[in-house]
Structure 1
Amino acid sequence: MSLSSRLATRDDVGALRELMERAIAELQKGFLDDEQVRSSAAIMGLDTQLIDDGTYFVIESEGRLAGCGGWSRRATLYGGDHFASRDAALLDPAKDPAKVRAMYTHPEFTRRGVGRLILGLCERAAAAEGFTRLELMATLAGEPLYRAYGFAEVDRTEDARGGAPVPIVRMRKDIITS
């Protein structure tokens, strides 16, 4: 199986949202109860600012959407367009970590390198803009991938904006340049 990447465009939004819904519904099952999965779907989602900024990637395999994810030079750590609390303030690469955002893998493509590919793309792009650290808010389902990639836990919290409290983990990693 070969994977390719490209920057997302506004034309991708519908397909990306479908992929996100399916990934949340299927991949969170082993980590959250049904109510928390529904709540998670209300909390997470696509922030189209990433597409507009040219920092959101689409991963494809033989013409099929296998995953998506990106990074941001803006202050918002997680959450989609539906949250008014997003903060579009630009980060200072000298002191702030770039944010890894909205990573999703199609359930048929898990454990095939999609997540690692996205993380590598994000890390290289953020480093090219002078960032030295990455930060993300992990779901429990995503936490093992991020740990394996070198992220460390900063703190654990819950987000109940979608109804049931959903456990999430803030994680950080120094950018490795070669």
Structure 2
Amino acid sequence: MKPELRVARMADAEPISALFAACYPTLMAPAYAPDVLSAALPKMIHANPVLIASGRFYVVEQEGRIIGAGGWGPAPPSGEDVPVHIRHFATHPDATGQGVGALCLTRCQEDARAEGHPALGCFSSLNAEGFYARHGFQRVAARDIPIGDASFPVIEMRCPL
């Protein structure tokens, strides 16, 4: 069965959190020190209800299971000067490399472009920089952002629309 993209609903919050909990520790492990992940992940693996309710957050389902998620929003993280940005992307480790993330990202780019935004920004995890680069994002700078008590290394990226 082909994966299908749809707008997330509040009822998806628990399965989205489960996706983050399955994805982030596994896929980020090669790029981050264990102490950084143990400090940051407890804050990162929970679905953001405000983002879900925005109508700008999407899930990818296959056979009734959420295997991908991601969205965008107009409130950039501190320090970023792009007015809209990518938020909370994840693909289940069993589904990486199958176009799941691309479904979400393409929808975000199309929607932001339709609203007249000239660019999208993101704070890419170190392991996801290549994914964003393949989809038109360019590296701006390496940064550390605070997540809970952790200083979490990311790559600030930007994509002209």
After TM superposition, the score normalised by the length of structure 1 is: 0.81
Determine the structure 1 residue equivalent to 2:56: 55
Cα contact 1:143–1:169 (8 A) shared by 2 = yes
**Alignment gaps of 5+ in structure 1:** 78-85, 87-94
Secondary structure in structure 1 of the residue aligned to 2:35: helix
CA distance 1:3–1:132, change in 2 (3 Å): same
CA gap 1:159/1:42 in 2 versus in 1, 3 angstroms: farther
CA contact (8 A) 2:82 2:121 kept: no
1:161 deviation in Å?
3.6
Deviation at residue 22 of structure 1 after TM alignment: 1.3
Q: Which moved more, 1:37-46 or 1:143-152?
A: 37-46
- Give 2:19's aligned residue: 19
Change (3 A) 1:160 1:125: closer
Q: 1-side partners of 2:82 and 2:126: how far apart?
A: 24
Which residue, 85, 99, 103 being the options, matches 2:89? 103
Per-residue displacement from partner, 1:71-120 (whole Å, max 9, x unpaired)?
Answer: 112x233xxxxxxxx8xxxxxxxx95421110011111111111111110
**C-alpha distance in structure 1 between counterparts of 2:122 and 2:107, whole Å:** 15
Mind listing any 5+ residue stretches in structure 2 that lack a counterpart? none
Q: Which residue of 1 aligns with 2:110?
A: 124
State the 4+ residue runs in structure 1 displaced beyond 4 angstroms: none
1:137 corresponds to which residue? 123
State the Cα RMSD in Å.
1.9
* Cα distance in 1 for residues equivalent to 2:76 and 2:121: 11
Match of 1:148 in 2: 134
| CA deviation after TM superposition for structure 1 residue 47, in Å | 2.3
Secondary structure at the residue paired with 2:2?
A: coil
How does 1:74-113 map onto structure 2 within 5 Å? 75-77=75-77, 96-113=82-99
Residue 143 of structure 2 aligns with an amino acid whose one-letter code is: T
- Structure with higher strand content: 2
Q: Partners in 2 of 1:132 and 1:5 — Cα distance?
A: 24
Q: CA deviation at 1:163?
A: 3.8
Write out per-residue CA displacement over residues 55-84 of structure 1, whole angstroms, 9 at most, x where no aligned residue.
0001012222111000112x233xxxxxxx
Instruction: Give the Cα separation in 2 of the matches to 1:143 and 1:137.
Output: 9
**Is the CA contact (8 Å cut-off) linking 1:24 and 1:40 kept in structure 2?**
no
How far apart, in 2, do the equivalents of 1:160 and 1:41 lie?
12
Count of aligned pairs? 158
Contact preservation (8 Å) 2:85, 2:121: yes
Amino acid in structure 2 at the alignment position of 1:26: T
% identical equivalent positions: 30
How far, CA to CA, are the matches of 1:25 and 1:158 in structure 2?
18
**Residues 1:70 and 2:58 are matched in the alignment:** no
